Chain A
Amino acid sequence: MANFKDAGHLLRMAAVFAVGIALFLVARSIFVPKSFGQYGHYRGAALAEVASKPVMFAGHGACEGCHTDVYDAKSKGVHAHVACEACHGPLAKHADDPTALQPPKMDVAVLCVRCHEAGLAKPKTFPQVVSAEHSGGVVCDTCHQPHSPRIGDATTASAEKPSGGSK
């Protein structure tokens, strides 16, 4: 068995280790974030941080309140299930304060072909055209009303031009 007199240095080394472990435990109590472990092995506060990011797309529900005429026209046409912001872009800021942000003008030529340019991989039943051959160089909204684009569908007069607010 170790003679304590001759094993003194081992005890000193053990003390160094003990101090190290103690310092580590103190560091743990100081530095581990308070909400850690609340729901699992992660910072519980992170959930609220992710959930509080700003919303950029208002969602289709936000538009109908003011733009009822457009909504009515669209809901009767083939674009009924296309969200407003799919074409008009993120407009949560506009929905919060309509005068603060005016939605940008749409570049119809680019916008329409994004979906409707003919492609081999597109479902066969999806309406698609080869734009270069389709209209003889004429821009899409010359013949197609974007909110209710099928030619021959009934459209209301006020839906001819997108309105800038409630009437």
Chain B
Amino acid sequence: MSLTRRHFLFLLPAAAVAWDALVAGTPEAAPNYNMTDHWWGLLIDVTKCIGCGTCVQACQAENLVPDGYYRTWVERYHVADWSIENPVVDSPDGGKHGFPASKNEGGKNFYVPKMCNHCADSPCTQVCPVGATFVSPDGVVLVDQKYCLGCRYCIQACPYGCRFLNPETNTASKCTLCYHRITKGLTTACCETCPTGTRQLVDLKNPNDPVHKFIETHSVQVLKPHLATKAKAFYYGLDGSVR
């Protein structure tokens, strides 16, 4: 009856992850996870973001992020006419509870989710004096909470403002790409809960990953490309005004 049906469905991970667009590849159990088989990144489709802030709330719930600090956040841009060098930007409480109504002044208006870009050539890991922050073999920039001194050099070195000092641990903290989830075949909390498919995890070592194929065949951008950080958060539909 339903008991066998429940077990049957549990035993078919492929059925459980029918939504290709949301999950990359076949989920693997944690003990079978081999770091060198993966090179993680993220695709953010700016054209789909509705600024609901669900991702910010989900991240906080999943990772116990203290109030007032943000592992991810959403910015709202207003670009008047052709003036892409002077956008008006706001991010009230990181966009966690959405955005208040804005006056209709024409121009372009859109939301941009932000997070750690998990740079392959990351300037933040370069400056850490003790090796407490590093790029993992599968491409995720992590902080060793037991080793970090709290000197804050990495926070200064990050061009994207994605790091902060966690006041509870007195160590540097930031988006971990939900490492504890992706190594178990789950997707990140923000990708999981995003209602419009704006955020999608991508495995850049998996040629069959549909998100990887998308990045290979469409125009995508990264933030601050002139700093050559080899950022792995790819944006689709990013306006030139985005900082």
Binding site for B on A (CB under 8 A): 33, 36, 39-43, 46-47, 49-57, 59-62, 64-66, 68, 79, 81-83, 85-86, 89-90, 114-115, 117, 119-123, 126, 128, 166-167
Task: Determine the distance from Cα of A90 to Cα of B58 in the docked complex, in whole angstroms.
Answer: 8
18 contacts between A and B (CB under 8 A): A42-B133, A50-B142, A51-B30, A53-B63, A55-B186, A56-B61, A57-B61, A57-B186, A61-B13, A61-B17, A68-B9, A79-B195, A86-B193, A115-B50, A121-B76, A121-B78, A122-B111, A128-B50
Q: Is B119 an interface residue (CB 8 A)?
A: no
Our pick among B9, B35, B186, B195 for the contact of A65 (Cβ within 8 Å) is B9
8 Å CB interface, B8-53 against A = 9-10, 13, 16-17, 19, 21-22, 27, 30, 35, 47-53
Stretch from B94-102, B212-220, B224-232 that touches the partner: B94-102
Q: Which residues of B contact A54 (CB under 8 A)?
A: 180
6 nearest A-B residue pairs (beta carbon): A61-B16, A46-B144, A121-B109, A42-B134, A53-B180, A166-B2
Picked from A39, A90, A122, the residue with its CB within 8 Å of the CB of B61 is: A90
**Which B109-135 residues have a C-beta within 8 angstroms of A?**
109-111, 131-135
Q: Check B77 for interface membership: any CB of A closer than 8 A.
A: yes
Measured CB to CB, the residues of B under 8 A from A are: 2-3, 5-6, 9-10, 13, 16-17, 19, 21-22, 27, 30, 35, 47-54, 58, 61-63, 76-78, 97-99, 101-102, 104, 109-111, 131-137, 142, 144-147, 176, 179-181, 183-184, 186-187, 189, 192-197
- Measured CB to CB, the nearest residue on chain A to B105 is A120
Task: Judge whether A121 and B179 touch: CB under 8 Å.
Answer: no
**A51 close to B2 (CB less than 8 A):** no
**Complexed CA–CA distance, A53 and B181 (Å):** 9
CA distance A64 to B14 in the complex (A): 13
Closest A residue to B6 by CB, please name it.
A65
Alpha-carbon distance A79/B21, docked complex (angstroms): 14
Q: How far is it, in angstroms, between the C-alpha of A57 and the C-alpha of B110 when the chains are bound? A: 28
Across the interface, name the chain B residue whose C-beta is closest to A48. B183
Given contacts A39-B136, A57-B62, contact A126 B192 (CB under 8 A): no
B76 to chain A, nearest CB (A): 5
Q: In the bound complex, do residue A115 and residue B136 qualify as a contact, i.e. CB atoms below 8 Å apart?
A: no
Q: A51-B179, A65-B6 are in contact. Are A126 and B50 (CB under 8 A)?
A: yes
